[in-house]
Structure 1
Amino acid sequence: MFMHQMDVSAAYLNSDLQDVVYMRQPEGKEDFVDIKLQIAQEFEVVDGGELKHFLGMEIERDGETGSVAIGHKQYIDGLLRDYGMEDCKPNATPLENLCVLEDCPRANQKQYLLYLAMTTRPDIVHCVAKLAQTCSDPHKEHEVAAKRVLRYLKGTSSLKLHFVRNGVPVHCFVDADWAGDCTDRKSFSGWAFFLAGAAFSWESKKQSIIALSSTEAEYVALSTAAKESAYVLKLISEMGFETAPTLMIYSDNQSAQYAELRRNPQSQGYSTFCFKNRAIESQVGRQDALDEKASLNFIRRALQNLLDVSLEY
């Protein structure tokens, strides 16, 4: 895959378009240089050459078709300067437990980290998701927690997502933080999809129900990952890439895996409870992703922790 950037001046997207728009490259137009020359005859264009920066992301390429590294070092350095923390002491971890204190004073400062968490830093997505819940009513301890994330970024600003061809098909790791929110004791679902040696899709989101067991929390997380796997497989197929017949989903909770419950309906008495739960019932309609397109696999917790993110300096 070649990566090139070009900006077309005076391009407006809010008018009616009568011409044919190609969503994929038409036949006979395989020469990218020829495409640029034809566009330049009609519009004023700025040729940015090989892609180096895009929306604040720094992109490094090994040759024209080699490995790709994507990071946000300059963005992080600027964020630290904005909040006067460029000389702060780095933290080894981004998150401590967050609990609302009734007598805690309101915070008068906010940190904006969502963009980083959504683009190149899956290692902070969980703590940013927890902090995002406090935007409407931030307290002092939330400001302290946000600064802790910044101190963590100070020590890891050079981390990048490193994509390299390795022949490993797309796969997913799923986990749940049972009753991890101390304000309402709801659990968090977390998953990350990997391809070419790095994560390309990830999420950490609070579950809508209160799980009564770790099995239930893990089951809900598996369900959301299964739905995402159906979209991922369809997207990769539409892009013209070959995919494995099944997408491997790894979880460290055997009893929560749908295949295990299906083989042993009386396993620990969880099967009936899970399928009758009002929130999990709404997920069962998407089990075709599990039956036809996804394969659930057990992975030990120690290895799961090692594979939570794929970042390199």
Structure 2
Amino acid sequence: MGGRDRVRVKRVSELVSSLEAVAFTEAKWERDRVGALRDLVRAEEELIRAQGGVGMGASRSFGDRWEVFEEWANKFGVDTAAFRAEKCGDQGVGLVAERDIRLGEKLIHVPRQMMITADIALKNADMAHLFQTDILLRRIESLALSMCVLRERLLGSQSNFAPYLDILPHEFSTPLWFTPDEIVALKGSPVLDKATNRVRGHARQYCHLYNVVKSGALPSIPPTQFTFELFRWAVSVVMTRQNMVPTSTGGESLALIPLWDMINHSQGEYTTQYDLARDQVEFFAMTDTPRDKQILMFYGPRPNSELLLHAGFVHGENLHDAVEVKQGRCTNRQPVSNTSSLIGRGRRPYAA
């Protein structure tokens, strides 16, 4: 490490310590959550300025990157002739039909070789060791997968998944990307505390992993490249795209499923399955879709609060929307049993 890099690492380490002090000081959050949130975001912004950006491979147009992705997918036997990728209004990039598509038609299959799972980290000695010894990475599978995505991004064109990573969004609309005012605007909603905790927890995770990287425990990721901005991007990729897939041992693991994860949400029913014999995800058209109309899928019966936290959007016609109500014991009013019976007469609250 050169002298300039050492100075930069020292400055960044100081700023990480400042961020850590805000994120881990419990009394501060108990006394003034909004004030603590603003201090946290200010510390993050100062850290981002000091670290500078990390390239996301955005020098080419999306059309050029999509062509490269199609060529990559075709090598795995995936046919992309029935659709194209393009901006679909507020929903962002989605898949649009190139021809009339019939309800129930098998449109997409994605073999396991195309997917990013935490298992790929085991092929790298220092990543494998860290995943086995670090308590956070052992406990939080999505965090381990995020570190895999981050490392693959740092590999640039040398990554086997570069064509996929190059077509992913560079920014997201989940609470991790909200300003303090945008989070405070959730006041009155049960999402406020969850969003605040998500932002704080993310900062704490970054501080922990930065110290791990700085210690030299992960030689494949230099401290100068393990930036807050890149980590937030990798975590957001996983948060908005992760899905469970079966494993060869009969269990399940988190995975990113290229191409399939570009389909936007609408009301409907599940039309995706996993073919164990072929070891691939298969998607069937949820509706008849005329040429030049967007292909859509159903993300599941999730309320808007969960969609906002995990996917960064709300659905105006969400038939599964609900508000989580926390029932507490009130000693000077009617017994809890009576309260429970009243709740039981109405709609059951959403169980997260």
TM-score normalized by structure 1?
Answer: 0.23
Higher helix share: 2
Higher strand share: 1
Higher relative contact order (CA 8 A, sep 6+): 2
TM-score normalized by structure 2?
Answer: 0.22
